[in-house]
Amino acid sequence: MNGSISMNLAGLETRTTVIFSADLPADTLLINGLPVRGGGLQRVSEFLDRVRLLAGRSWHARVESESNFPTGAGIASSAAAFAALSLAASRAIGLELDQPALSRLARTGSGSACRSIPGGFSEWHPGDGDADSFAVSIAPLEHWALVDHVAVVRAVHKPVGSTEGHGLAHTSPLQAARVVDTPRRLEICRQAILERDFTALAEIIELDSNLMHAVMMTSHPALFYWEPASIALMKTIPVWRQEGLNAAYTLDAGPNVHIITPVSDSAAVQDRLRAFPGVKSLLVAPVGGPARWVENQPA
């Protein structure tokens, strides 16, 4: 693992409530008001087992989670979910974990979740083991007023999840070259953020996104996440940049396109995206802060 850099988002949120009780016979999970069983519940229960081990407790838990953006559609829903679950579950069972410990815990649920614990622009240091594999903030949210515009071209749950996709990466003949080049790309991205160099940032995040999807498309079996509108946006956004509009694209493991811009270009980009064929909806989010605990308000 070579690490990664990400930008936390404000306004696109997952809120999770966890209640541990000696009276509960088993873990239960509700996502957006609907009960989850099978593999989804098992994944959460296995994560809660790690929390229970840390706390020396055997209580089961009731977990309720709500997100205000589509889940399972390549918008980092699992990262937000396990970051929220890490904070809620650890506090609910009586643990007081610092940010590195929370990031390490979140990583065991979803690797990218470790980056959702710190605020602003964060970097995941993979380390040599659990003790030093966590994310830290490399710049606070106030450092650079960027905006992420998520062009939703397909909101339904993707047929192959990110975890399954990661498991296939080694079958691609391109993966080894991608991994070897990762430190170079990370250094360029890190410096672009620290220096607020949008041109450099645009070039490196587009390259990195294209490389990741090239690996997925050449894995066995091949994974094709892009929709026609995804490809049209990837072809069009560099043209916008040539015309003087600061915009750059990146995609997670899904069809929806993230268009990053400085806040000064956000209104113009929103106008163009809302009129773009195939874009079903648009989510707009500036740089966000760290995962945070919210006390339950009295009814």
Average pLDDT over residues 216-235: 96
Q: From 139, 164, 184, give the residue that closes a domain.
A: 139
Would residue 84 count as lying in a domain? yes
Cis peptide before 126 (omega within 30 of 0): no
One domain, residues 105 and 188: no
HSE-CB of 10 using CA atoms within 13 angstroms = 13
Residues 132 and 250 in one domain: no
- Residues of the chain with pLDDT > 90, as a percent, come to 82
Q: Measured in Å, how far apart are the chain's first and last C-alpha atoms?
A: 46
Which amino acid makes up residue 131?
A: A
The CATH number that applies at residue 246 is: 3.30.70.890
At residue 299 the predicted structure's pLDDT band, cuts being 50, 70 and 90, is: very low
Residue written as token pair 């929370």: 102
131 and 262 within one domain: no
CATH of the domain at 96: 3.30.230.10
Tens digits of residue pLDDT in 116-130: 999 999 999 988 888
Are 273 and 163 contained in the same domain? yes
Residue 282's domain comprises 144-286
Rounded Cα distance between 144 and 266, Å, is 14
Query: Of the ranges 115-129, 150-164, 285-299, which one carries the lowest mean pLDDT score?
Result: 150-164
146, two tokens: 């960027």
d(CA 92, CA 161): 29
pTM (2 decimals)? Answer: 0.89
Assess whether 180 and 240 both reside in one domain.
yes
Residue type, 151: A
The Cα 112–Cα 165 span in angstroms is 14
Position 296 pLDDT exceeds 90 = no
Residues paired with 258 in a beta bridge? 150, 250
What confidence score (pLDDT) does residue 56 get?
Answer: 97
Q: Are 261 and 151 in contact (CB under 8 A)?
A: no
Does residue 296 form part of some domain? no
148/118 same-domain check: no
Question: Which of 289, 206, 195 is CA-nearest to residue 247?
Answer: 206
- CA 117, chain centre distance (Å): 11
Torsion, Cα 195 198 204 208, to 10 degrees, reads: 110
Among 139, 166, 182, residue at a domain's last position: 139
Whether residue 214 is contained in a domain is answered as yes
| Total count of domains within the chain | 2
pLDDT at 298: 42
The pLDDT, as a whole number, for residue 216 is 96
67-76, 143-152, 163-172: which has the minimum mean pLDDT?
A: 67-76
Can you give the three-state secondary structure of the chain, one letter per residue? Answer: CCCEEEECECCCCEEEEEEEECCCCCCEEEECCEECCHHHHHHHHHHHHHHHHHHCCCCEEEEEEEECCCCCCCCCHHHHHHHHHHHHHHHHCCCCCCHHHHHHHHHCCCHHHHHHCCCCEEEEECCCCHHHCEEEEEECHHHCCEEEEEEECCCCCCCCCHHHHHHHHHHCCCHHHHHHHHHHHHHHHHHHHHCCCHHHHHHHHHHHHHHHHHHHHCCCCCCCCCCHHHHHHHHHHHHHHHCCCCCEEECCCCCCEEEEEEHHHHHHHHHHHHCCCCCCEEEEEEECCCCCCCCCCCC
Assess whether 77 and 162 both reside in one domain.
no
